[in-house]
Structure 1
């Protein structure tokens, strides 16, 4: 701690992995480096002076320090989706990562102190712990549409982790961040991770109070070995989903923000459990059943599959205003390591601006030449001759005979006063305008990101092969619409909690290009299927 304060008081940045960083000053105490205390150590807040970008530096306590091989392995074992970036983009530092230089703070003590620490970009969003405090105080009114979005995002994250053979093992109000603008969650605190290739270490946490099942023991002795499996997030998932959907000003608070106490778990007749079950039933019968199954479980195997939570949440249709709608805007990094993100000089910006202005007319002329009007062309007439006619519509959805219920965006169900909460159901009505002429549709640029860790991935859109870079990302120019896409990849096989690479499989489905310029593709390597996850 002394070293971090000396670093701050020097007024100079340290050069770490090519990035200039300084400790962030405590908001209340001058000359004190700002940090947050956790179960395994301290998380120091760092700032990049050139662009004010924030970073987190995790320093373990000596009692909770995992083996270095474990800490280094975490990055490569988690899924590559956006909500896992706190793990996939982190770096375990060595003394060689700190470089001296003019106007740079460096010392032998700093290099030694930083050895074994974890440097990672600060994730967007606010912890569920702080969001729930604002809800309880009445400072924040979280709409039902946002609540469902956060619950669905968390369920999708647990589905992905189980498919990759891993578990976070410490999901709680502290380790889940809510991005209130984009309506997605980010997961942090990854140093309790389970994976079949990792060895169990005895000082690993069993979880957090208020989110651990009763079969792990009690506060006198938690048995972390019982949560050391890939299903170790299932109980906490159910608890967090119920909190997301039902938290209000009347909700109880335990352990600095959790809605449940450990003593409640396992008691099927507890009054609070009965009220929560009833309130969830007002939203969805499926949610009610899944929550009761979790509450009555005696092992992780008894808990519902996270895919069932995801499917139940997807069935809930919530009307929302345009101002509440949000989608994640991804920035896909081409590099595998954290690199310097210093700002470009003003002369460089001017150069690129002039170059852009010069190239735009040339590009327009080029694209309008007859010999260049092919698959990804700007000629609507040529496209109509060579391609099947496609409607610029929403992605295909399963159509049921009965009308889909739509939950009005009302106050969240009152957990402690369930009789005062009512859910209005109205049928969905589709409005068509067949007489309206279709506007001319121009090709747009799209960035396709496939969440896949191996390098054997192949992609075709309407029979045309699309080249992918090493991060399984491709940029295409195409007219908005629905297209057929073919993906070839290798499956995975889970044997005794160990993930093995299986045979190659080709899966065909439809991809939608619309106003969202970032296309995210999730691959289910266990089932050999894929789906687009960011459709409207």
Structure 2
């Protein structure tokens, strides 16, 4: 069973007493934010104003080297943006009694709790920034990354969830400019003093280069592309079109990276018109870079931004970039009722007891109930982890990149074989008077025809795969709109056919059924995608509807038919 703390439960770490805090949007549930490597819990010291973060790692990421890593990270705790470097590790030497009770806490990390929404929260909430806020956020992030780069440090997983906007926290009124932006999830940081971690992310979707690989994402230059994307996102967040066009957890959809797309054109126009050609040029360099070293250094970003600092200060009153009263009211998060909290507790209990499928269903029910954005990512990660456990015994499917590479290799192989066949055909023609040669020619022609058909089928598979990837990259809201439009179109087609007078009744009967079948199939696909249901659900639903609709039709005509129908159909319910 995994670590399952209770709200207000006490825990003694390094001789000091802490208390688990409650999730602000789920009553009775401890504040536990799911991440890629583990869960971060909120701890209160004996003084409620003292807050700590307890990061409990999943088994895969529990590593004794965390002790040495923490010793190195604490050296940088005074640097801008690296408050989370102030930390210590739960070890058997210092916490034997605690680990005897809760062994899951082995090599867990206790660090400073960083207040404020993540940049992902800002994007999901569509929270438009003022011009001063945009500049202050981008400048603070740039300075933090420049300081790190000058010391040979890199975060190596920069993305919207890993950037906390302390400057936008409505409870903090005296945030210093140096603390406007904070970086979290520092366990994969690069330093010449550190060993390469066993688990390195290959870049986060929406912030990674198209050519990003794990081998390239741990090094001194690893942050340059992702950092550039975050800087321009922050600068663009004050423009008219930015939030309306943002994809979701990042401004760009993952499949759009480094391509000429509408979002790029809009953001480039916003940067150029609001911040000038110099910053737009840096954006273009990063976007068009083939390798990380071609991206601008953070010193280049800082130099251009510093030229505008005095102008920005003179445009608005006051030196601190704080949220206006109206914006505070808009983004203030109201507590959610106990229903989501109880459901979340139930899901965690099921997960702890090994009932993974049931836990997934409960998590999905919370997801469908439109939880607060701060819970959405946590639920998505929990579902993803559980689905991974359920399917780990199954063979993995090829990734989209591997599929594309496989198709290219397959087509190249076919092309090579066709060249060989062509050569043989040429040789056969040269000896066409030979009966055996003519037979070989006929055989070669058959082979060419067969392989031509295979190429055509392969090309069709590539087209279908490309279309599927494009569909998967759409934001959830756009997917919903597309599905509804498709269902409306299907129904219009049913109505058109049913009211048509151009065909015979038998033709109308068949065509109306086919159009109705298309509507039902699309409806099932819509429900399956919207609620993340599996193929087993689809199969069972088809079985149920196969019994339900004929039964309803017969019930008011000849009830005896249903008895016969039941006997012939019941074996489907297995």
TM-score computed with the length of structure 2 as normaliser: 0.50
Q: Could you list the runs of 4 or more consecutive aligned residues of structure 1 that deviate by over 6 angstroms after TM superposition? A: none
Farther-moved stretch of structure 1 (296-305 vs 178-187): 178-187
Which residue of 1 is the match for residue 231 of structure 2?
A: 241
* SS of equivalent to 1:166: coil
SS, match of residue 129 in structure 1? helix
The corresponding residue for 1:226 is 216
Contact in 2 for aligned 1:15/1:99 (Cα 8 Å): no
CA RMSD, 1 decimal: 2.5
Equivalent pairs, count: 305
Specify whether residues 58 and 259 from structure 1 end up closer, same or farther in structure 2 by C-alpha distance, changes over 3 A only: same
Map residues 204-223 of structure 1 onto 2, 5 A cutoff: 204-216=200-212, 223=213
Residue in structure 2 matched with residue 50 of structure 1 by the alignment: 47
Is the alpha carbon distance of 1:249 and 1:305 closer, same or farther for their aligned partners in structure 2, counting shifts above 3 Å? closer
Answer 1 or 2: which has greater strand percent: 1
Cα distance, 1:54–1:69 mapped onto 2, change above 3 Å: closer
Structure 2: where are the runs of 5+ without partners? Answer: 168-172, 323-574
Contact 2:67–2:89, Cα closer than 8 Å, also in 1: no
Task: Select 2:81's aligned residue among 80, 83, 86.
Answer: 83
Aligned: 1:325 with 2:317: no
Deviation at 1:63, TM superposition (A): 2.0
Counterpart in 2 of 1:40? 37
CA distance in structure 2 between the partners assigned to 1:225 and 1:77 by the alignment: 26
Q: 1:290 to 1:29 in 2, by over 3 A?
A: closer
Could you tell me which residue of structure 2 aligns to residue 189 of structure 1?
Answer: 185
CA deviation vs aligned residue, 1:40-86 (integer Å, no higher than 9, x gap) = 11111112242342211111112234433553344145463242110
* Superposed displacement of residue 124, structure 1: 2.8
Residue 251 of structure 1: which of 244, 247, 251 is its match? 244
Spell out, residue by residue over 1:431-486, the C-alpha distance to the aligned partner (whole angstroms, 9 max, x if none): xxxxxxxxxxxxxxxxxxxxxxxxxxxxxxxxxxxxxxxxxxxxxxxxxxxxxxxx
> Partner residue of 1:463?
none
**Deviation per CA, 1:60-116, whole angstroms, max 9, x where unpaired?**
1122344335533441454632421101x111111343487xxxxx57222x23220
Indicate which of 117, 123, 127 corresponds to 1:132: 123
Q: 5 Å matches for 1:12-23?
A: 12-23=9-20
Asked if 1:151 is matched to 2:138, the reply is yes
Q: 1:233 to 1:28 in 2, by over 3 A?
A: closer
Equivalent in the alignment of 2:496: none
Find the counterpart in structure 2 of residue 63 from structure 1. Answer: 60
Matched ranges for 1:55-454 at <5 A = 55-66=52-63, 67-69=65-67, 71-76=69-74, 78=76, 80-87=78-85, 89-98=86-95, 108-110=100-102, 112-134=103-125, 136=126, 140-180=127-167, 181=173, 182=175, 183=177, 184-216=180-212, 223-247=213-237, 250-254=243-247, 256-267=248-259, 269-282=260-273, 283-316=275-308, 317-318=311-312, 319-323=314-318, 325=320
Larger-Rg structure: 2
Q: Per-residue displacement from partner, 1:131-163 (whole Å, max 9, x unpaired)?
A: 2233x1xxx442111111111111111111111
Q: Deviations over 1:167-204 (max 9, x none)?
A: 00111111111122535211111011111222223422
Distance (whole Å) between structure 1 residues aligned to residue 23 and residue 77 of structure 2:
34
Residues 132 and 316, structure 2, Cα contact 8 Å, conserved in 1? no
Partner-residue secondary structure (3-state), 1:214:
coil
The whole-number CA distance in structure 1 between the counterparts of 2:26 and 2:268 is 45
Rounded Cα–Cα distance in structure 2 between residues aligned with 1:43 and 1:249 = 31
Indicate if the aligned counterparts of 1:166 and 1:194 stay in contact, CA closer than 8 A.
Answer: yes
C-alpha distance in 2, partners of 1:93/1:54? 17
2:498 aligns with none
Comparing 18-27 and 185-194, the one that deviates more: 18-27
Q: Cα distance, 1:257 vs. partner?
A: 1.7
Q: Secondary structure of the residue that 2:278 maps to in structure 1? A: helix
List runs of 5+ in structure 1 lacking aligned partners: 101-105, 217-222, 328-536
